[in-house]
Amino acid sequence: MAPLATPPILEENPTRLTILPLGGLGEIGMNMMAFAWGGDAFIVDAGLLFPDDSMPGVDLVIPDLDALLSRGWNIRGIVLTHGHEDHIGALPYVLEKIQAPVHATSLTMGLVENKLEEFNLLESTERRVIFPRNPIELGPFRVDFFAVCHSVPDGVGLAVTTPGGVVIHSGDFKFDPEPIDGRYCDVETISAYARQGVLALLSDSTNVEREGTTGSERSIRPELERIFRRAKGRILVATFASNIHRMQQIFELSEEFGRQVVLVGRSMESNAAIAAERGYLRIPRGILVDMRELDTLPDERVTILSTGSQGEPLSTLSLMAFDRHKYLKVKPGDQLVLSSRFIPGNEKAINTIINEFCRRGADVEYEGISHVHVSGHAQRDELRALVRLVQPRYFIPAHGEYRHLLRHARLAKEEGIAEDRVLILEDGDLVELSWEKATLLERLPLKRVFVDGKGVGDVGHEVLRDRRVLSEVGMVTVAIVIGKETGEIIAGPEVFSRGVTYQDTEPELIDGTRKAVEEVLIELDPRTPDDWEEARERIRLAARRHVNRSLGRRPVVQTLVLEV
């Protein structure tokens, strides 16, 4: 991080602009940030992070709100830049702790309302639809909105006017020269604020490692058209359910080539309905058919638009790949189009699907061999253009892993931003900005909050460590039943194992472990319930030593002493 001034003594009610990132600065996803002036604050985005292989059993990861709540700020509102899960997915969990009005554009609000209804929060949440170039007042903040292009429609960036200066927050953006909906990035509004002088620019860092420009969503149309023209059988297009513009192109091509469209996946169906209802998606009349009607249509008249492009285990594509879907089976002559990028960590699952579809006679097109996807994030030339346009006093790279933030910081310096005014922040960095200086007040400790089923925050790193060990080496359980009063053994020791060895070698392992435990019991000869407290740990170690000698493995060993 660039050098910052020495932290001052904090006043009880400071009247300076404070920024607190709670997610998205140090990882891709979980975007959330608070802006504060005095005792008032507002939140930008409330996103989630999808778990990786190090988080077995975890459904979602959401921001830690404790650091925010500990500040005692009056939260004036929650402003959402667009409708992706990494920006809105944690909102229901945030609203359970923070009651504040939610501000979003029409499509984003539609996606949010669908989510809030699932959590029974729709009626209790104050919702306000916002529009570009229509500012709102949030206490001491005046928040203006400018249109940006992204892979989901109706996204906005923010121009936040504070008593200490203007902050530009880009949101997720790119400069699309030919947007599908004709809604260009509002450079005019950005320029108008730049002419007044901008205190700080926070800019999307996701694609900073890619040279050049991202390109238009419309640029993939010729390749999709080629696929539709040559396909003799069914066309299956897998993409993100939020990519309404991609969906629009598939509908248009299906109409042009005389194909009916089947929507597969709850989120795909739901998002299409919301986008169509609010005027962001044109669905040709009569083009949609139910999945169960596919047998009545010739294959050359069918387009299947599906989720599951990341190889999710229970997705339609995965079920089809292994011939487990109730209605859809892969046929020779099928054309699969994976119209999305391979998210790091998902490559193996996606490649498995590609291989299985090919094995069953389908042809597969995907990014890398065919131009069937374009990103929604700005690349280096576009990021440079934004810095040149805004010419901020301070530059703060946002939305990215640390390597992205670092590269974006270097880019800003190349564009003339002084080194001491380029700030690389991470989640939990409480920073105070004025025109004269930037001060790192504190590095607040943040933890990741894991959502596991109905549990929120009740799974920690110790639980995840145990789950990883269980998944890697299995478990051995030693059970003994003793008399509650006498401490004498009534039954056992019984030994059980799960995930340790093959079934045909398990009896030998269990017999050997039981004998090792019995030898310890003879040595200890516990006679009272209190004696068993010491015996319990000795039993565990004896069982573990035997398994390690026999198999060279160290499973989790659990000792159960039951009193009756």
Q: Which residues are catalytic?
A: 204, 377
Six-digit token string for 226: 């080629």
DSSP sequence for 182-203: S----HHHHHHHHHH--SEEEE
Compute φ and ψ for 90, nearest 5 degrees. -90, 0
Beta-bridge partner residues of 366: 338
Torsion angle, CA of 278/279/282/283, rounded to 10 degrees?
20
State the pairing for strand pair 200-204/489-498.
Answer: unpaired
Q: Which residue has 């299409």 as its token pair?
A: 272
> Which of 156, 177, 137 shows the shortest CA–CA distance to 42?
137
> How many Å apart are CA 143 and CA 231, to the nearest integer?
49
Beta-bridge partner residues of 18: 36, 432
Helix (H, G, I), strand (E, B) or coil at 118: helix
DSSP alpha helices (H): ranges in 96-198?
A: 106-118, 187-196
DSSP sequence for 241-287: TT-HHHHHHHHHHHHHTT-EEEEESHHHHHHHHHHHHTTS----TT-
Six-digit token string for 263: 């929507």
Six-digit token string for 173: 């953006």
289 touches 303 (CB < 8 A): no
DSSP alpha helices (H): ranges in 415-528?
A: 461-473, 506-524
Torsion angle, CA of 236/237/238/240, rounded to 10 degrees?
-150
